[in-house]
Structure 1
Amino acid sequence: MKKILFIAICLILGFVFKPYLTFSAVDNENINTEIELLNKQIAEKKARVKRLEESIAQVKKDINAKRLEATSLKNQIAILDNRTTQIELDIEATEEKLDTLNLEITALEMKIKLQEEDIKRQKEMLAELIRTINYEADKSYLEVIAAYDNFSDFYNRVQYLQVVEEDLGSNAKSLRLAKESLEEKKGSTEERKESYEKLKVSLDEKKEDYEEQIFGKENLLFQTKSSEMTFQALLENLRKQYQEIESEIASVEREVRNKLEAQNKLSATTDANFDGLFSWPSQSRYVTSYFHDPEYPYRHIFEHNAIDIRAGQGTPIKAAASGYVGRARVCSSSSCYSYVMLLHSDNFSTLYGHLSKIIVSEEQFVTRGDVIGYSGGTPGTVGAGPFVTGPHLHFEIRKNGIPVNPLNYLAKDWE
């Protein structure tokens, strides 16, 4: 009778130790098939993104080639058209990346489901192994001996229990590894979800860039009335205004800084323990044009010594650090470029351009974070300046009067 019971227990345990028999093999197979299909779609999407990025690279080459040609209205329109095409392709590539992330998230969630089922099975196996060992451990030596008709059966039982104990260690390790793998998959899923949300924001920004490029071209044609002569006249005016502003910035900074330093104002009242890091001047962190940006549409006319930050018309603009207002250029027309320049300690200065409204006065002291004006840049609005494509903030940081890359000095407070 006891031999029959022993065989029955072995059969039951043998069944429990086969994990894939306790869960629907059909369900398992279906999920794995779905994951394979998702992986295939992911590969196709990535291949599509690669082709789009190759097309974008070619459009960039076309833009650079156009910039090497003589500056003309026709050439400038071609550059704007190519830039529009580049953004269109970039939008399409971003949408494909979003689809890819969505598919990857779905595949990971399916893998997590399989992993959780596997962990559940392993826990059941582990519990059964522990129950078996505890059951045998509760018996006295005489009970164990009396339970078998001969030594051979007793020996087989001892061997079996050794296997059970080994399985216990093996299954415990397997369970630990399965849990670690599950946590990794969950972490990867969360990372992709975060990337997805950031990419969605980026897509919206790119769509705004696209609309601005279209509007910029229309505005250029409107300003020039499609006349090459008018375009060249406006271009000459732009060059002249740029040179005047650069000269003005250099002379004002030198004169006002010397005056303030003579009064010991800069070192006495600016940021305590200033470490050279500046705050972002607007809530937005989206950069539409970079410092010395090779894709800047008017780079063949003058270098872009700033970053352009996306900021809707009328957005509050704040002082990036404490300092004195060196220049507050207020304009009354759209062809005039309005800006504020702040002087800081350690020979730093900051410039805020395309302002629609300025609310500070020259030689006024401002504290980091104080509102100094409101953004502009919408074509045709006061203070925007010529050849703008849309509302934004032109932001410069200068060290010893020389423009430096603002991104090297701005606090990374978006992470």
Structure 2
Amino acid sequence: MFIIILLTQLVVPSLVRAEEVGELQAALREKLQRIEDLKKKAAAYEANLQLKRQERLTLSNQITILTDRISKTNLDIEVARTSIEATNLEIHGLEEDISAKGKQILNYKDQLGALVRWLAREQNRTIIQVFFTRSSFADFYGELKQVKTVQTNVTNLVKEVETLKTKLNDDKEELEEKRQRLAEELANLNQQQLSLEAQQETKTYLLQETRSSEQRFAVLLEDARREEEQTNLEITNLEKEVRERLRLEGLTTDGERPALIWPVPNNRGLSTLFHDPDYPFRRLFEHSGIDIRAYQGTSIRAAASGYVARVQTGGKRGYGFVMIIHNGGLATVYGHVSKIMVKQDSFVAQGEVIALSGGIPGTPGAGPFSTGPHLHLETRFNGIPQDPLPLLP
């Protein structure tokens, strides 16, 4: 009777209740469909933004672009939140499955132990002992057949345990991947929220500065264009002058071009690329560097050792920057700085703090058309801006 009861327990139970699995899958499908719907709406805003960027640069047009970007970013935030919810559902399902598999493995091990102990007792008896303790040949044959059946079931159960262990390890690896994805999604959500805040601040600042006047906006644009041209010309000419002065002082800058480090942590990503087609003021001038997201007041470190050729505070409304000259014809420019920590005409080492980041509209060093808190980084070869990304680790 014992062995019959034991054999009936070898039926594999459901790892997770079918009802719960169904509910999880239904909830997950709903989240994924929600994500697709939101992405379609965001794509519609992006298409409208592309059209608006081709129109004449006016205050009305710029406010519309900012409003649409804010709406699109809100949708992106909703996509990120829904993705997080979907990933949490997947994680919950995997955790339940892992727990059930673990319990099933323990159950199988208990069954194996009982079967092995029963077999050990039976195998210690000789065929003669078994034959003479049975009332008939049929009973004798039945017990031998039962022993063989148990041996087969032990073999199958061992294989099942190994298979279940493999699946359990696969589930654990998948769970770790889901958790990493969740961390990335949370970081993305944080970036989207910061981007939204920056866009709202830019819109508010623009309306305040222009007082909703197209004429005032035109003046601001002209001031920005003129300041950009003046800064570019100053940087180009100054670099040549400083390199020549250093050469005359016996300090050559003709050595090998240095390897760069990130001047601020890059874990929050980039908000604008080099010559970015989506740069809102591209009609005035190209975006001559990359914008690295950074909280207001983040320490900016020298990307390489060099000579501080120029520092400009920018004041309340102007553009603040630091320019460093390096070997190999390379110069780096750090823009939208809110506070400068080094002196002009001094040497700095790679990694040394040279300034604090800024960029919030209306704050010192941000300039008239900053797009929010970030560091604007330029790399120039012989005065000409080049994409910094290939030079960074």
TM (normalized to structure 2)?
A: 0.89
SS at match of 2:307: strand
Q: Determine whether 1:241 maps to 2:227.
A: yes
User: For residues 347 and 119 of structure 2, what CA distance do their matches in structure 1 show?
Assistant: 80
Residue of structure 2 equivalent to 1:171: 157
- 1:352 shift after superposition: 0.7
Matched, 1:317 2:300: yes
Answer whether contact 2:361 2:372 (CA < 8 A) is retained: yes
1:338 alignment counterpart: 320
CA distance in 1, matches of 2:196, 2:141: 81
Residues 306 and 391 from structure 1, CA distance in 2 versus in 1: closer, same or farther, beyond 3 angstroms? same
Contact 1:282-1:316 within 8 A present in 2 as well: no
**Bigger CA drift: 152-161 or 214-223?**
152-161
Q: Is the CA contact (8 Å cut-off) linking 1:281 and 1:319 kept in structure 2?
A: no
Partner of 1:361: 343
Q: Deviations over 1:40-67 (max 9, x none)?
A: 1111111111111111111111111111
Counterpart among 192, 196, 205 of residue 210 in structure 1: 196
Code of the residue aligned with 2:114 in structure 1: it is: E
- Could you tell me how far apart the structure 1 residues matched to 2:252 and 2:339 are? 27
CA distance in 1, matches of 2:382, 2:105: 63
SS of equivalent residue, structure 2 residue 376:
strand
- Give the alignment of 1:173-322 within 5 angstroms: 173-260=159-246, 263-266=250-253, 274=258, 276-282=259-265, 285-322=268-305
Structure 2: distance between partners of 1:267 and 1:167: 79
Mapped pair 1:78 → 2:64: yes
Structure 1 gap ranges (5+): 1-7
* TM-score w.r.t. length of structure 1: 0.85
**1:14 maps onto 2:4 in alignment:** no
Task: Find out whether 1:45 has 2:31 as its counterpart.
Answer: yes
Give the CA deviation at 1:71.
Answer: 1.4
CA separation in 1, counterparts of 2:67 and 2:178?
34
1:409 alignment counterpart: 391
* Contact 2:266 2:293 (C-alpha < 8 Å) held by counterparts: no
Contact 1:375 1:392 in 2 (8 A): yes
Separation in 1, partners of 2:157, 2:199: 62
In structure 2, give the amino acid aligned to 1:88: N
Aligned with 1:285: secondary structure? coil
The superposition leaves residues 308-349 of structure 1 with CA deviations (integer Å, 9 ceiling, x where unpaired) of 223333222111222222322233x33321111223334433
- Is the counterpart of residue 68 in structure 1 residue 51 in structure 2? no
* Unpaired segments ≥5 residues, structure 2: none
SS in structure 2 opposite 1:317? strand
Q: 1: distance between equivalents of 2:290 and 2:133?
A: 86
- 1:381 matched to 2:349? The reply is no
Identity between Structure 1 and Structure 2 (%): 36
Distance 1:155 1:264, change over 3 A: farther
Instruction: Name the residue aligned to 2:106.
Output: 120
Cα drift, residue 200 of structure 1: 2.6
Q: 1:44 to 1:405 in 2, by over 3 A?
A: farther
